[in-house]
């Protein structure tokens, strides 16, 4: 299992509304879960405001560092939607109206007051780009090279990800299994470290420890993650056995 290629992605979340605290981001978790199923690992996320320089820097860094670079936000019709222009600038290409996007918007707005100049802004793409189907509303997403430009509104992003499902090359999906104990994680910290160390020699995996305090009691969930399901299960079995030997009852699916 060692030496297997790991496919990676970066995400740039674009929008003053996230940095101001007005809007709770949901796209990080949504993209992360979707990527797991595609066998692609989310390596880094950057959240930047509606500012050309910041977008260019983040996208250029993550697209060169990762196999795929996704962005969310800033592709609507208004003055604060500058994602397309910033990415085109970062790529050193011009911006054009994509004919197919124009046709899609024309059809979408035919019964909604017509395709105004502001709405036609949503057909603008970096030169050489392809479209990502929008199954929810009018304006499509955009793919150029390894950059995927998506909506900020989570349910529209979800539709775009749905359209991309199965189209990106990835490795084996990451498997994740959880167990839980009513124990302070600090009591079993050494055990967790030892078990991870023992199993990490054989397969790429990691144990995460997530403590909580609920109904006046202290507990923790332990999550084993890796691309090799058998190795994850073996690690989980080992951890469960050791926890029970130390007198901690283990809840099989977490608490």
Task: Determine, following the binding rule CB under 8 A, whether residue 192 of this chain makes contact with a second copy.
Answer: yes
**Candidate list 7, 14, 38, 42; residue touching a second copy; CB under 8 A:** 42
- Per DSSP, what are the bridge partners of residue 144? 147
Task: Determine, following the binding rule CB under 8 A, whether residue 230 of this chain makes contact with a second copy.
Answer: no
Which CB, 64 or 137, lies closer to a second copy? Answer: 137
Using CA atoms of 243, 249, 253, 255 in order, give the dihedral in degrees to the nearest 10. Answer: -110
Round to whole Å and give the CA distance between 255 and 140. 40
Q: At a CB cut-off of 8 Å and minimum separation 6, what does 182 contact?
A: 217, 218, 219, 248, 249, 255
Task: Determine, following the binding rule CB under 8 A, whether residue 255 of this chain makes contact with a second copy.
Answer: no
Task: Determine, following the binding rule CB under 8 A, whether residue 196 of this chain makes contact with a second copy.
Answer: yes
Q: At a CB cut-off of 8 Å and minimum separation 6, what does 172 contact?
A: 4, 39, 227, 228
Q: Which helix (H) or strand (E) holds 207?
A: strand 206-214
Round to whole Å and give the CA distance between 109 and 119. 9
DSSP state for residue 186 in the 8-state scheme: G
Distance in angstroms between the alpha carbons of the first and the last residue of the chain: 31
DSSP state for residue 29 in the 8-state scheme: H
Residues 125 to 154 in contact with a second copy, rule: CB under 8 A: 137, 153
Task: Determine, following the binding rule CB under 8 A, whether residue 85 of this chain makes contact with a second copy.
Answer: no
Find the part of the chain contacting a second copy (CB under 8 A) among 91-99, 108-116, 141-149, 234-242: 108-116
Which CB, 46 or 172, lies closer to a second copy? Answer: 46
DSSP 92-141: T--EEE-HHHHHHHHHHHTTTT---HHHHGGGEEETT-EEE--SSSSS-E
Q: How far is the CB of 128 from a second copy (least distance, A)?
A: 25
Find the part of the chain contacting a second copy (CB under 8 A) among 24-32, 162-170, 233-241, 243-251: 24-32
**Candidate list 7, 14, 18, 148; residue touching a second copy; CB under 8 A:** 18
Residues 161 to 190 in contact with a second copy, rule: CB under 8 A: 174, 176, 184-187, 189-190
Q: How far is the CB of 65 from a second copy (least distance, A)?
A: 11
The residues of the shown chain that bind a second copy, judged by CB under 8 A, are 13, 16-26, 28-36, 41-50, 54, 76-80, 112-113, 116-119, 121-122, 137, 153, 174, 176, 184-187, 189-190, 192-193, 196, 206-213, 223, 225
């Amino acid at each position: 299992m060692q030496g297997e290629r790991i496919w990676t992605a970066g995400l740039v979340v674009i929008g003053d509304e996230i940095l101001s605290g007005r809007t709770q981001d949901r796209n990080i978790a949504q993209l992360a879960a979707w990527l797991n199923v595609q066998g692609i690992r989310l390596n880094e996320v950057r959240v930047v405001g509606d500012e050309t320089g910041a977008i260019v820097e983040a996208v250029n860094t993550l697209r060169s560092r990762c196999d795929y670079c996704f962005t969310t936000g800033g592709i609507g019709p208004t003055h604060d939607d500058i994602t397309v222009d910033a990415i085109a600038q970062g790529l050193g290409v011009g911006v054009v109206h994509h004919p197919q996007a124009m046709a899609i918007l024309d059809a979408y707005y035919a019964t909604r007051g017509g395709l105004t100049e502001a709405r036609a802004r949503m057909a603008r793409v970096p030169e050489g780009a392809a479209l990502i189907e929008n199954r929810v509303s009018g304006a499509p997403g955009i793919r150029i090279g390894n950059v995927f430009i998506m909506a900020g509104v989570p349910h529209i992003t979800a539709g775009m990800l749905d359209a991309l499902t199965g189209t990106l090359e990835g490795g084996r999906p990451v498997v994740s299994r959880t167990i839980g104990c009513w124990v302070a994680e600090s009591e079993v910290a050494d055990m967790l470290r030892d078990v991870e160390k023992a199993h990490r020699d054989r397969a790429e995996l990691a144990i995460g420890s997530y403590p909580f305090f609920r109904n006046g009691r202290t507990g923790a969930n332990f999550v084993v993650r890796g691309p090799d399901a058998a190795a994850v299960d073996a690690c989980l079995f080992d951890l469960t056995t050791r926890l029970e030997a130390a007198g901690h009852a283990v809840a099989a699916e977490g608490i």
